[in-house]
């Protein structure tokens, strides 16, 4: 196993890596600076788009010419050619202290993303589904900080976490309707060193990978929720993970250069880098595009 810095971009709050198989490009974001990045598997051909607000996640649209992005003021459509953003829907227009955070697509092109309390203290957030017809449905509420949405390879399980509960949840998932049910605790994050569950992905074997932010570890959990592997990282504030590269065998890891709140720890000179982990002997699954 080898851990390299792919890009030393010093993202204030790097997040949401997405490997697009069709274009063979890696997307990731800077949540605080409101920016979407794109590069090749080896970190070249870097370019960026500014968006009108803090950004929590994105997914490439089905035609590859744009993306759905979750911002502090709702869901927007980003045009890659013009750089323009169009508001789709703001489901929390009445809430001044929340923003939409982490999100992922299912294999029918639905985009799932949850919101968070920007002070990361109160249960003000919710989980939403954006369908290909651009309708928005609320699925859960009472969440402090939405994170880690992803789907099992067989499309039968949806994973999701409220970061500050210390729990990762599994739901029964209905791929035909986009419905979730039967929430239970899948695994618990080790918070003994101040860490918390952040961004996540699932590999081809159905194992769940999670970034333990503020504790500098990547954790792999078996389908039964048992801890299978831990990878210590060069920085503490790792934020999310995604398999990519031509063979889907490189684990890309985002990190933050500056903590969002004073109570969170600082980091070393490699803070804010985009990392690539090779030699794991594991492959990921293809990340779907948004169907709208």
Q: List the catalytic residues.
A: 198
SS3 assignment, position 208: strand
Beta strands across the sheet bearing 274-278: 2-7, 274-278, 250-255, 238-244
Show Cβ contacts of residue 113 under 8 Å, excluding neighbours closer than 6 positions: 56, 57, 70, 75, 100, 101, 102, 103, 104, 127, 128, 130, 146, 149
Helix, strand, coil shares of the chain as percentages rounded to 5?
A: 0, 55, 45
Are the C-beta atoms of 16 and 29 separated by less than 8 Å?
Answer: yes
C-alpha of 33 from chain center = 16
């Amino acid at each position: 196993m080898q851990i390299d810095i792919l890009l030393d971009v010093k993202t204030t709050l790097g997040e949401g890596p997405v490997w697009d198989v069709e274009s063979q490009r890696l997307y990731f974001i800077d949540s605080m600076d409101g920016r979407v990045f794109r590069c090749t598997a080896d970190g070249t051909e870097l370019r960026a788009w500014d968006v009108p607000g803090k950004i929590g996640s994105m997914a490439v649209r089905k035609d590859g010419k744009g993306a759905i992005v979750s911002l502090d003021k709702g869901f927007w459509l980003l045009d890659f050619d013009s750089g323009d953003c169009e508001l789709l829907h703001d489901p929390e227009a009445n809430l001044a202290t929340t923003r939409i955070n982490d999100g992922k697509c299912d294999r029918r092109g639905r985009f799932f993303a949850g919101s968070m309390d920007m002070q990361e203290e109160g249960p003000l957030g919710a989980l939403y589904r954006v369908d290909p017809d651009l309708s928005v449905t609320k699925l859960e509420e009472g969440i402090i900080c939405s994170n880690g949405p992803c789907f099992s390879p067989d499309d039968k399980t949806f994973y999701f976490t409220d970061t500050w509960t210390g729990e990762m949840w599994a739901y029964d998932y209905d791929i035909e309707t986009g419905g979730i049910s039967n929430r239970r605790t899948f695994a618990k994050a080790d918070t003994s060193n101040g860490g918390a569950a952040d961004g996540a992905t699932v590999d081809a074997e159905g194992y769940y990978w999670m970034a333990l932010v503020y504790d500098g570890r990547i954790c792999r959990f078996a389908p039964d929720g048992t801890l299978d592997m831990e990878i210590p990282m060069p920085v503490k504030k790792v934020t999310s993970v995604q398999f990519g590269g031509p063979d889907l065998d490189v684990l890309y890891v985002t990190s933050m250069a500056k903590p969002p709140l004073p109570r969170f720890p600082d980091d070393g000179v490699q803070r804010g880098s985009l990392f690539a982990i090779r030699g794991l002997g594991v492959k990921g699954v293809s990340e779907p595009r948004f169907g709208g």
